Chain A
Amino acid sequence: MFISYLLSGISLGAIYALIALGYTMVYGIAKMLNFAHGDVIMVGGYIAFTISVTLGADGWIALLGSIIFCTLLGITIERVAYKPLRGASKLSVLITAIGVSYLLQNVALLIFGSASRNFQALIVVPSVEIGSVTIPGNTILTIGVSVVIMIVLTLFINKSSAGSAMLAVSEDKGAAQLMGVNVNKTISLTFAIGSGLAAVAGILMCTQYPNIGPYTGQMPGIKAFIAAVFGGIGSIPGAMLGGIAIGVIENLSKAYISTQLSDAITFAILIIMLLVKPTGILGKKLNEKV
């Protein structure tokens, strides 16, 4: 039983981790909490749903279409709503991000209606039995995809020039600009990657929990943010670690403490974490400039 709980926790955690990657990259580079990130997941799910169910296209086309759409959406959001506020107070940026989150939810509500829809799996992976434990195919898929993305992303950031530019901008925006890094382009790229990942996360989530509605992204988005903070915001391995940790903690507290209080426990962990080690498990301390 414990193994089953753990497995379902890891698979939930892998989804949180993918979402958390988007949060952590954007936070590291643009220094803002992109509240609308969770809702991009929902958009990703709906796009895949529309392409595969309504238009009847193949699963892979739906996957690709959804990633492309979300990438463009991410860039657009950044250009229209966040870029004009780059010098503004954190409060303004945060309120705008909440506005964007609400906007996405309500546009989806108007287009797709409030009723949640059944989401059919785009990619089917068979279950595996090891001894008495059955590992559901979706769990294998989710964990596998997450690990691959994580490796690719780490390589991209550490080996490519665009990745180095990201690191430079996250370290010191002004200095990076002086060294000839195109800050605007780098931030756009970050949003593009983060939103593309959100689309993947959205599809994986809808495959695992086959249901989609306008508010699908809200709670997982908040939980994934908690995961990002837990792992250390700005750190990519941290997001992965934090995601898995939150997923496992949530499922184990449901199993052994109380199903009713699992959300409260997750939120309490966030508060405790921020008090004890505000930089998270793998985070770096940010120095404050006067």
Chain B
Amino acid sequence: MSERKNSERAKGFSLLKIVPSKSRGKLVTVLIPVVFFAVCALLVNLGVLRSHFAGLLVPLCYYIIMAVSLNFTVGILGELSLGHAGFMCIGAYVGGLFTLLTQDSITSAWIRFPIAILLGGLIAALAGFLIGVPILRLRGDYLAIVTLAFGEIVRNLVQNIYLSRDKAGLHFSFTNAIEPERLDPATNVDIMKGPMALNGISPDATLLISVILVVITIIVILNMVDSRAGRAIMSIRDNRIAAESTGINITKYKLIVFSLSAFFAGIAGVLFAHYSTVSPPKFDYNMSILILVFVVLGGVGNIRGSIIATAILYILPEVLRGFQSYRMLIYAIVLIVMMLLNNNERFNAWKKNTTERLTAWRKGLFRKKSGKEAE
């Protein structure tokens, strides 16, 4: 984990020389998804990639947002959250409900969707803040298990909400379906019906908006990591007691991380709601673990790694259909092997050695090239 910082700061392409060297790594991280999605969109439009592949692009966007935001908590703050799907669930329901309730009155998606995104993100952030205040006294295993409990509670509560609308206005009920007598049958529209899926949300999550949100997420998180606050957060991760004794306000920074991470998970949820069908079982513990696998494979604390790992782990099983039975097994092995290797001294030494050799090789390559150009 020690080279985390270095890899973020690693020198970029020679083409990027105009950009101050400090920001080059960041720029590359932002450019990777932009270029990838641009190429994909082009290929889809040219008809090279078929509808199956085209249908994977928006989901990939919200999973990247999920992975990057989870990595902020797990990699930068160093606390394991097993309830990330809970925040996504809140975002999906808040954003989805907002659109369902307003899509008749606000017809322009260009006005409605940004509000839904902001609202979903903010409410999720609020939930992150609220759950953060009490549990921040906890650490490590306890914090992980409480976030797991939180995720399950959110799902359990959402599953029990009944909401419908008739000419008299909105009707709400908890744990029991709304009594038919309370509703006007002619004008009644069920909006939320316990465990039933939320249907009819206008599919506003286009690839363009999704990619823009991915870029915003990456930029905000990378800048956060690189800021004064980011350094304070990482010092908490590396040595909490030392950080505390130098006067760093641990509670404040933990709250910032929790809320920001939840905010982006909420946004991912809003995108999800406007692309796929929202139903509570989707946001269970397994979803949180799935995102965790993306983060772990990409490298804990490595934002760029999260992006690439998400792309690989989401698209590969889809393209290679037929391996599904073994997919979860492979995920499990990935988790264990990554952790064992990361904590294996010999492997770390080998990795460092290889990286150095690769860097040297690349430098030599560029030197030759630029020499040719000069001729």
**CB distance B78 to A89 under 8 Å?**
yes
**CB distance B148 to A222 under 8 Å?**
yes
Contact of B325 with A by CB under 8 A: yes
For B141, list chain A residues within 8 Å (CB).
27, 32-33, 90, 94
Q: How many angstroms from the CA of A72 to the CA of B42 in the assembled complex?
A: 55
**CB distance A96 to B339 under 8 Å?**
yes
Contact of A3 with B by CB under 8 A: no
Query: From residue 198 to 247 of chain A, which have CB atoms closer than 8 A to chain B?
Result: 218, 222, 225-226, 229
**CB distance A96 to B134 under 8 Å?**
no
For A84, list chain B residues within 8 Å (CB).
340, 343-344
For B331, list chain A residues within 8 Å (CB).
102
Contact of B10 with A by CB under 8 A: no
Contact of B320 with A by CB under 8 A: no
With A85-B343, A290-B241: A96-B150 Cβ-Cβ less than 8 Å = no
**CB distance B333 to A94 under 8 Å?**
no
**CB distance B142 to A85 under 8 Å?**
no
**CB distance A99 to B332 under 8 Å?**
yes
Name the residue of chain B whose CB is nearest to the CB of A104. B332
Query: From residue 77 to 100 of chain A, which have CB atoms closer than 8 A to chain B?
Result: 81, 84-85, 87-96, 98-100
Interface of A is mostly: helix
**CB distance B78 to A91 under 8 Å?**
yes
Contact of A275 with B by CB under 8 A: yes
**CB distance B142 to A102 under 8 Å?**
no
Contact of B57 with A by CB under 8 A: no
Interface stretch (choices A7-15, A53-61, A117-125, A262-270): A262-270
- Residue in contact with A229 in the complex, picked from B145, B285, B300, B342, CB distance below 8 Å: B145
- Residue in contact with B340 in the complex, picked from A87, A96, A98, A103, CB distance below 8 Å: A96
**CB distance A95 to B339 under 8 Å?**
yes
With A98-B289, A110-B329: A260-B340 Cβ-Cβ less than 8 Å = no
Interface stretch (choices B89-97, B151-159, B253-261): B151-159
**CB distance A263 to B343 under 8 Å?**
no
**CB distance B145 to A95 under 8 Å?**
no
CB distance from B341 to the nearest CB of A (A): 10
- Residue in contact with A98 in the complex, picked from B156, B241, B335, CB distance below 8 Å: B335
For B332, list chain A residues within 8 Å (CB).
99-103, 105-106
Q: How many angstroms from the CA of A270 to the CA of B334 in the assembled complex?
A: 30
**CB distance A98 to B78 under 8 Å?**
no
Q: How many angstroms from the CA of A283 to the CA of B110 in the assembled complex?
A: 56
Count the B residues whose beta carbon is within 8 Å of the partner chain — how many?
Answer: 46
With A96-B335, A103-B332, A270-B145: A85-B78 Cβ-Cβ less than 8 Å = no
With A106-B329, A264-B157: A100-B152 Cβ-Cβ less than 8 Å = no
Contact of A107 with B by CB under 8 A: yes
For A99, list chain B residues within 8 Å (CB).
332-336, 339
Contact of B16 with A by CB under 8 A: no
For A261, list chain B residues within 8 Å (CB).
156-157, 160, 175
For B334, list chain A residues within 8 Å (CB).
99
Contact of B292 with A by CB under 8 A: yes
For A100, list chain B residues within 8 Å (CB).
332, 336
Contact of B135 with A by CB under 8 A: yes
CB distance from A213 to the nearest CB of B (A): 15
Query: From residue 140 to 170 of chain B, which have CB atoms closer than 8 A to chain A?
Result: 140-142, 144-146, 148-150, 152-153, 156-157, 159-160
- Residue in contact with A270 in the complex, picked from B146, B329, B336, CB distance below 8 Å: B146
Q: List, sorted by A's number, 17 A–B pairs whose CB atoms are closer than 8 Å.
A: A81-B340, A87-B343, A88-B343, A89-B78, A91-B140, A95-B296, A99-B333, A99-B339, A100-B336, A106-B328, A218-B285, A258-B175, A263-B152, A267-B152, A270-B149, A274-B142, A290-B241
Leading 6 A-B pairs by shortest Cβ distance: A99-B335, A102-B332, A267-B149, A103-B332, A99-B336, A264-B156
